[in-house]
């Protein structure tokens, strides 16, 4: 995959300037050694849990107010990392840090549906090593929509002009989250494309910052 955490550096720096403690997390992507299932997911879980180590070592972090924000594939992993039911996820998620909130920016929130739509030129099948029919257990434990309810505050923002990850994926996830009893705010942004969320001067980023201050 051509994109890494550097894509979010401008957003991360802006959040730091606003007074947030920011952990811009990288993970192995498919195509890299041990990337995909389960390496990518273990990296995210361990990265979130490492905040507990930093706090124990004296870093000033409020572990009761940890929020994860992710864009696109990172949005999928942010939602996945917010899971609360270790049994439903086969214990792959974070175990030391329980998130207070999660924000998905144009996230791939439903992996089976994304596979059906052909998102990212078969990227979901590459990530999980096959189709939903071939790897049903992996889709069950890796797809955020299959892990609902998450039991924490959620924000989903998605642009109506997104040509990379179709907005109907987020619409479908939001309906399922509400039906499951989750607290979720879904913002359907007219005229916004997939990469607009990476611009700290955008109205989408301003909405994210306003939401983060209320956690």
Q: What is the pLDDT of residues 105-145, one digit of tens each?
A: 999 999 999 999 999 999 999 999 999 999 999 999 999 99
User: Residue-wise over 122-133: b if at least 16 C-beta within 10 A, else e?
Assistant: ebbbbbbebebe
- In CATH, the number for domain 5-212 is 3.40.50.1820
Q: What is the pLDDT of residues 41-54, one digit of tens each?
A: 999 999 999 999 99
At residue 55, does pLDDT exceed 80?
yes
Phi, psi for residue 139 in degrees, rounded to 5: -65, -35
Band (pLDDT 50/70/90 cuts) for residue 3 is low
Q: What is the pLDDT of residues 66-113, one digit of tens each?
A: 999 999 999 999 999 998 777 777 778 899 999 999 999 999 999 999
At residue 2, does pLDDT exceed 60?
no
Q: What is the pLDDT of residues 188-204, one digit of tens each?
A: 999 999 999 999 999 99
- pTM value is 0.94
Identify the CA nearest to 155 among candidates 96, 70, 95, 74.
Answer: 70
């Amino acid at each position: 995959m051509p994109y890494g955490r550097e894509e979010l550096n401008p957003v991360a720096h802006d959040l730091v300037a606003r007074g947030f403690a920011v952990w811009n997390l990288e993970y192995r992507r498919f195509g890299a050694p041990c990337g995909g299932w389960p390496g990518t997911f273990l990296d995210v879980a361990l990265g979130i849990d490492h905040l507990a180590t930093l706090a124990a070592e004296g870093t000033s972090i409020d572990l009761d107010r940890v929020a994860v924000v992710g864009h696109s594939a990172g949005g999928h992993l942010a939602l996945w990392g917010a899971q609360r039911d270790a049994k439903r996820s086969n214990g792959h998620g974070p175990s030391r840090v329980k998130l207070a909130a999660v924000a998905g920016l144009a996230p791939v929130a439903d992996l089976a549906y994304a596979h059906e739509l052909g998102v990212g030129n078969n990227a979901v099948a590459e990530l999980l090593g096959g189709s939903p029919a071939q790897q049903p257990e992996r889709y069950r434990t890796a797809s955020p929509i299959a892990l609902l309810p998450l039991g924490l505050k959620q924000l989903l923002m998605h642009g109506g002009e997104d040509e990379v990850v179709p907005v109907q994926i987020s619409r479908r996830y939001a309906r399922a989250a509400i039906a499951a009893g989750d607290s979720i705010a879904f913002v359907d942004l007219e005229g916004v494309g997939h990469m607009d969320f990476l611009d700290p001067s955008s109205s989408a980023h301003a909405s994210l910052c306003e939401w983060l201050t209320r956690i």
